Structure formats: C-alpha cells, structure tokens
C-alpha cells in the first residue's frame, strides 16, 4: 500500500500582494480554539502571505484541547475578556458622552432585537459593548479593516466598532452563526464592505439580507485543508467493521440518529463498531442514549480529540459517518471540515444532504449522500458501503481529488487575500477622507 502526505502549506510571501493588503484586525470570540483549526490555519496563512494583521478576541484565553502548534502561535492577540470589563464600560461612556444620539440609535438597533436564545443574547450584548473598546484599540493600532470570522457576536462587535470609528468592516458567514439569523444580520449585511462565506449554498441566503443593488458583495471562498501528515486510510473492511463520527455534541450533528442506526444494525446482526469522537452540551444525553439502547460494548466515546490526532482515528477506521441535521429553528452545519479531512485521507464518507455538503459529497461518486433524520437510510448506506470495498475505494479516491482541488490551501488563501485587497482598494478610492482618517492622518493633509 502506498502512502503520501498532504501538508497544510504555509502561504508563500508575495511582496506585490502584501503591499496591497490592508492592516487588518481579525476578530473572534477565542483564538486559538481547538475546534476551529480551519480558522487558525486561515489566520496563520494570511500572516505568512504578508498580510499585516492582529487578532482581537472578545473573550479570554481558551487553550483546552489545543495542539502544541496552537499553543506556540506567535501572532499578537489582544483579548477583551472579563478583565476588560471596566475598560469596555469606559469606552462605551466616552462614546456616549461624545455623541449620545448616535450611541442610542446603535443601542436601539443592536441590543433590543430578537436573539435566538439566552446564550446568544449574552454574547451579543457583551460583543456590542466590546465594540466601543475595539473601535478605540483599532484606531490606536492604525487598523484599516475590521474582519469578523463569524457572523454572530463578533460581527456585532466589528459592526459597532466600524460605526464608531469609520473603519470599514467585513465578516465571514459560515453555518450556525447565520442560521437562524440574529436580529441584526440585515444591518450587518447592509453595512459590511463585503461578506465572505465558505460554501456556495450560503451565498443566496446572505444575499437575501443585502440591499437589492449590493448582492454582489457576497463572495464564496472555500477553507483550506487542515490536516498534516500521513494521509492513507487503511480501510481494513474486516468484521467488526469500524465506523467513525467526529463533531461537537450539539443539536445539528445528528448523533441521536447515528446511535439509533447502530441499534438497528445490531438487531440485523451487522458486525460494526462506532467511535464517536467529541464533546459538548449533549454529552450526557448521548451517553444516556447509548446506555438505554444497550450499545456500550459497540460504541466508543473517547471524548474530545485534538485536530492533530484525528488522523490517527481516520487511519484505523473503515469509513466516516456525518449525519448532520437542520434544527427546527434553522440552525445547521455548513460543510463540516471533518468531511474534507477524511476524504484527504482517502476515507469513504457517508453524509446527509444538509446545506453545502452536497458541494463535496456527490452520491455514488465521492461518497454516499442520504436524507437527514433517517436512521434506516443511514443503516442502508453503511451496508451498501461495506458490501463493495472497491466501490468505496473509488469514491474515496474521487473525493480526495475533489477536496484537493476545491480546498487547496495555497490557492484559496490567495483568493481570500485578493478579496481583501480588491475590496479595500475599491473602498479606499471611494472614501479617501475616511481612509486618511483611519490611518491617523487629518483629511486636510490629503
């Protein structure tokens, strides 16, 4: 058996491109975060390409489960966690003293709107207030573009900071951050310089919140691959067959349906074992369901596994199952990164037809695509995959070719960097006075 490697390539410096890139504040809730390796890689590669950026986080440090590479990340990070409460309130009251009318209008639009739940409400309120301090800090750091990595709370912060400082902002809309929409997604889409999303399916959804004559501000740029190292799945395909599922234990992952599928396969005497990797709010619920269905001896739940160890599981299992579902309120996955990681390892994939998954999984070509919330269809797909190892290998190889083309790290990061450069240059040309102002120069010096 041959093996080869896919290494997340660091972007190569490009002096001509780097000179065009704006000094950017990359805003998140946490950084680095163990479950957001794709964002860590994105920031890492943009910096390697020569983009002048600094990371700002709305919360404090959260390194639990992070890889050594994440822990050693040399990028400058400014954290506006609980320790910054008084600084945040000070910035808010300074803005209120300068222009109370503008601040109250922002509060009416940004605070007193429908938010999906209490957790999201708390995040939005914190990020709204933190936006005032972010505005001051961005001015001090001579930031030229504010960019939020998500469309919910941290996008609220950059929206506020932009309104206060005059610095343009953009955001990336991915999955549960835009489904269902929060109360001010329309305002964020209206005021953003541009919007990036990481799959094509999200484009019309985000366009629906933009003004009719500005729908072209939504741009799709795929993520890059995140795994490094040996990339050959063993695919032993000998009983007991080993199934793998990876993800946060939450409402969009469809893990209850996965456990129901395992109970069905056991009744049908199909010799399978499942490794369910992850952790989250539904941990107790899923553990209890495993016990209730009598699956303790065939379902392993090792807990959270850092991204840099996921490939160990992929190399020793036969296939990946991704049973994503759309929650009743609209919350959903985008394209789970574990799909691309598995296919890059030549691992066969079974997934449900949710959001952008069909952009990667073409039924019968690069994997098996089935309806959501259907344990019987899941079980049937597993049996079909196990019945023909050669067909499974062909789909895995075709899937690998697709993801290597679609999620090429070097190509996609340059496309993203060009988007930053071009959009900022257009804004710069149309708003010269504000551009000079954000660089710390008075307009009359133009």
Q: Give pLDDT tens digits for 204-231.
A: 999 999 999 999 999 999 999 987 555 5
Judged by DSSP in three states, 38 sits in: helix
**Per-residue confidence at 10, pLDDT binned at 50, 70, 90?**
low
Q: Which two tokens stand for residue 51?
A: 């983009």
Q: Which residues contact 292 (CB under 8 A, 6 or more apart)?
A: none
Residue 289 has pLDDT above 80, yes or no: yes
How confident is the model at residue 45, as a pLDDT? 94
pLDDT at 438 over 50: no
* Three-state secondary structure of 96-125: HHHCHHHHHHHHHHHCCCCCCCHHHHHHHH
Among 29-38, 73-82, 102-111, 257-266, the range with the most confident prediction by mean pLDDT is 257-266
Query: Of residues 443 and 108, which shows the higher confidence score?
Result: 108
What pLDDT band is residue 64 in, cutting at 50, 70 and 90? confident
Q: Tell me the C-alpha distance between 217 and 202, whole Å.
A: 13
Supply the pLDDT for residue 229. Answer: 53
Which of 8, 1, 13, 4 is closest to 414 using CA atoms? 13
15-224+409-445 CATH fold: Rossmann fold (3.40.50)
pLDDT tens track for 117-144: 788 889 999 999 999 999 999 999 999 9
Taking only the tens place, the pLDDT of each residue in 332-355 is 999 999 999 999 999 999 999 999
**Mean pLDDT over residues 273-295, rounded?**
97
- Give tens-digit pLDDT for 375-423: 999 999 999 999 999 999 999 999 999 999 999 999 999 999 999 999 9
**Domain spans, the chain:** 15-224+409-445, 241-406
Locate tokens 């190569």: which residue? 12
Confidence of residue 444 (pLDDT cuts 50, 70, 90): very low
Q: What is the pLDDT of residue 119?
A: 81
Establish whether domains 15-224+409-445 and 241-406 are of one fold. yes
How far apart are alpha carbons 422 and 393 in whole angstroms?
Answer: 42
Confidence (pLDDT) at 107: 93
Chosen CATH of 241-406 out of 3.40.50.1220, 1.10.357.20, 3.40.50.300, 3.40.50.2000: 3.40.50.2000
**Average of per-residue pLDDT across 43-67:** 92
Of 1-10, 50-59, 181-190, 260-269, the range with the lowest mean pLDDT is 1-10
Q: What's the confidence (pLDDT) of residue 235?
A: 82
Question: If you average pLDDT over residues 181-189, what whole number do you get?
Answer: 92
Better-predicted residue by pLDDT, 319 or 75:
319
């Amino acid at each position: 058996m041959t093996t080869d490697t896919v290494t997340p390539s660091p972007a190569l410096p490009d002096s001509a491109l780097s000179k065009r890139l704006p000094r950017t504040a990359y805003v998140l809730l946490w950084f680095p975060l163990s479950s957001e390796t794709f964002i860590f890689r994105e920031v890492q590669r943009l910096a390697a390409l020569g983009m002048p950026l600094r990371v700002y986080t709305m919360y404090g440090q959260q390194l639990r489960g992070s890889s050594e590479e994440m822990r050693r990340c040399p990028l400058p990070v400014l954290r506006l966690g609980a320790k910054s409460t008084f600084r945040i309130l000070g910035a808010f009251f300074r803005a209120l003293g300068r222009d109370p009318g503008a601040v109250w209008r922002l509060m009416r639009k940004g605070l007193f709107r429908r938010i999906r739940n209490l957790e999201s409400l708390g995040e939005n309120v914190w990020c709204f207030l933190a936006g005032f301090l972010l505005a001051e800090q961005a001015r001090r750091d001579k930031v030229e573009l504010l960019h939020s990595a998500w469309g919910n709370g941290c996008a609220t912060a950059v929206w506020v900071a932009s309104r206060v400082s005059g610095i343009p902002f953009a955001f990336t809309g991915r999955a549960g951050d835009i489904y269902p929409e929060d109360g001010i997604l329309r305002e964020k889409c209206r005021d953003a310089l541009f919007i990036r999303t990481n799959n094509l399916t999200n484009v019309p959804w985000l366009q629906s919140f933009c003004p009719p004559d500005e729908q072209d501000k939504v741009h799709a740029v795929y993520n890059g691959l995140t795994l490094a190292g040996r990339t050959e799945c063993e695919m032993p395909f000998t009983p007991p067959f080993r199934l793998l599922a990876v993800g946060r234990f939450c409402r969009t992952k469809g893990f209850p349906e996965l456990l129901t599928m395992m109970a069905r396969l056991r009744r049908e005497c199909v010799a399978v074992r499942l490794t369910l990797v992850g952790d989250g709010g539904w941990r107790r619920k899923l553990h209890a369901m495993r016990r209730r269905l009598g699956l303790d001896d065939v379902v392993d739940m090792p807990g959270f596994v850092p991204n840099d160890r996921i490939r160990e599981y992929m190399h020793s299992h036969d296939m990946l199952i991704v049973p994503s579902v759309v929650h009743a309120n609209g919350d959903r996955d985008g394209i789970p990164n574990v799909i691309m990681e598995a296919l890059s390892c030549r691992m066969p994939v079974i997934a449900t037809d949710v959001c952008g998954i069909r952009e990667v999984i073409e039924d019968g070509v690069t994997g098996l695509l089935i309806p959501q919330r259907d344990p019987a269809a899941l079980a049937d797909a597993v049996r079909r995959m196990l019945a023909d190892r050669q067909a499974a290998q062909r789909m895995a190889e075709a899937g690998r070719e697709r993801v290597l083309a679609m999620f090429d790290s070097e190509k996609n990061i340059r496309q993203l960097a060009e988007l930053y450069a071009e959009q900022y240059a257009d804004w710069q040309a149309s708003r010269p006075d504000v551009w000079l102002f954000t660089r710390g120069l008075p307009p009359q010096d133009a």
